[in-house]
Amino acid sequence: MNSTQKPKVVVTRKLPDPVETRMMELFDVQLNIEDVPMTQNELAEAVKTCDVLVPTVTDDINAGILAQAGDQFRLIANYGTGVDHIDLGTARQRGVTVTNTPDVLTEDTADMTMSLLLAVPRRLFEGERKLREGKWNGWAPTWMLGHRIHGKRLGIVGMGRIGQAVAKRAKGFGLSVHYHNRTRVHKDVENQLEATYWESLDQMLARMDIISVNCPHTPATYHLLSARRLKLLQPHAYVVNTARGEIIDESALIRMLKKGDIAGAGLDVYENEPAINPKFLELENVSLLPHMGSATCEGRIDMGEKVLINIKTFADGHSPPDRVLLDI
């Protein structure tokens, strides 16, 4: 990348105004003012001429797109932490660096996870719907009874930054913290969180009251909570997912929710976003959110600042701080 010229940057979605303003100052930028997702053809045209692409989770940066990139295209500065929408292997083969925005969304996503951990057992969404529909006739001793979470066992699938942040919050609410992770976390972390490690995901699932999915989506975690594994859950158990929809077999989850084989679920992510399986909408025992886990003003601006730093560092000829490795 020629350091004497401003890099040509294409941004695929509308970003917060302070972020876009700073980008205009630093780079030669093509913004998406209308915030209409770019088509595959538009993405392909962009990488033919730009130096840097700034995509989001809604953009499929696949091998077909990357095959059409020009020789000048050298950086994908992803606006977000997850990079499962980017073909990392092809990017590396073509000499394209990929960066993301880790850490800044940890607290926001953990807050949303905790919100669902509270809302689902206590039936908050269901109660709010009944109130709006005029179905509340006053307090009654046995109406809309949920379950307390204090003293229950929480099984966290994925004990990375977000999983640990969830564990800290859960501990404060009196939950017993358990976890399964690709590798066991340091003993000091376990002791601080009072967390119990399960090497076997199957064994953990069978013993928990609530399951929280907080691992990244990779080929290894696709349908990690498969039909077989979901059947291991106890009938009173709840499932919360604020990670990626592809980690859970949605069809199997719907069947179990409908039959009452598990008590309920709280979902912020789905397999085929933005399409939602309509069968979810028919169920009372599932709380649904439109992928809001990272949706705070502070978090989105912090994400933008990381993108800016990654582009500027790369344009200056240095390795960007948030470079994504192939085995993420």
Q: What is the pLDDT of residue 74?
A: 97
pLDDT, tens digit, 9 for 90 and up, residues 93-147? 999 999 999 999 999 999 999 999 999 999 999 999 999 999 999 999 999 999 9
Domain-embedded: residue 3: no
CATH number of 278's domain: 3.40.50.720
In this structure, the answer to whether residues 67 and 200 fall within a common structural domain is no
Quick one: angle between helices 17-26 and 297-315, nearest 10? 10
In this structure, the answer to whether residues 254 and 136 fall within a common structural domain is yes
* Lowest mean pLDDT, pick from 4-8, 32-36, 56-60: 4-8
Domain-embedded: residue 325: no
- Does 215 score more than 50 pLDDT? yes
Q: How far apart are the first and last CA of the chain?
A: 26
- Does 204 score more than 80 pLDDT? yes
Q: What is the pLDDT of residue 237?
A: 98
In this structure, the answer to whether residues 147 and 66 fall within a common structural domain is no
In this structure, the answer to whether residues 268 and 146 fall within a common structural domain is yes
In this structure, the answer to whether residues 164 and 53 fall within a common structural domain is no
In this structure, the answer to whether residues 172 and 23 fall within a common structural domain is no
Domain-embedded: residue 301: yes
Q: What is the pLDDT of residue 281?
A: 97
Contacts of 148-152 spanning 24+ positions with Cβ under 8 A: 148/121, 149/117, 149/118, 149/121, 149/122, 149/173, 149/174, 149/175, 149/210, 150/174, 150/175, 151/175, 151/176, 152/121, 152/176, 152/209, 152/210
pLDDT, tens digit, 9 for 90 and up, residues 148-203? 999 999 999 999 999 999 999 999 999 999 999 999 999 999 999 999 999 999 99
What is the arithmetic mean of pLDDT over 237-265? Answer: 98
- Does 4 score more than 80 pLDDT? no
- Does 328 score more than 60 pLDDT? no
Per-residue DSSP letters for 36-51? PPPPHHHHHHHHHH-S
Domain-embedded: residue 278: yes
In this structure, the answer to whether residues 137 and 196 fall within a common structural domain is yes
Question: pTM here?
Answer: 0.88
**Residues carrying an active site annotation:** 244, 273, 291
Residues of the chain above pLDDT 90, percent: 97
Number of domains in the chain: 2
In this structure, the answer to whether residues 240 and 131 fall within a common structural domain is yes
What is the arithmetic mean of pLDDT over 19-48? Answer: 97
In this structure, the answer to whether residues 137 and 90 fall within a common structural domain is no
| Structural domain span for residue 226 | 106-288
| Residues in CB range of 325: below 8 A, 6 or more apart | none
Residues of the chain above pLDDT 70, percent: 98
Confidence of residue 241 (pLDDT cuts 50, 70, 90): very high
In this structure, the answer to whether residues 97 and 111 fall within a common structural domain is no
In this structure, the answer to whether residues 120 and 181 fall within a common structural domain is yes
In this structure, the answer to whether residues 222 and 278 fall within a common structural domain is yes
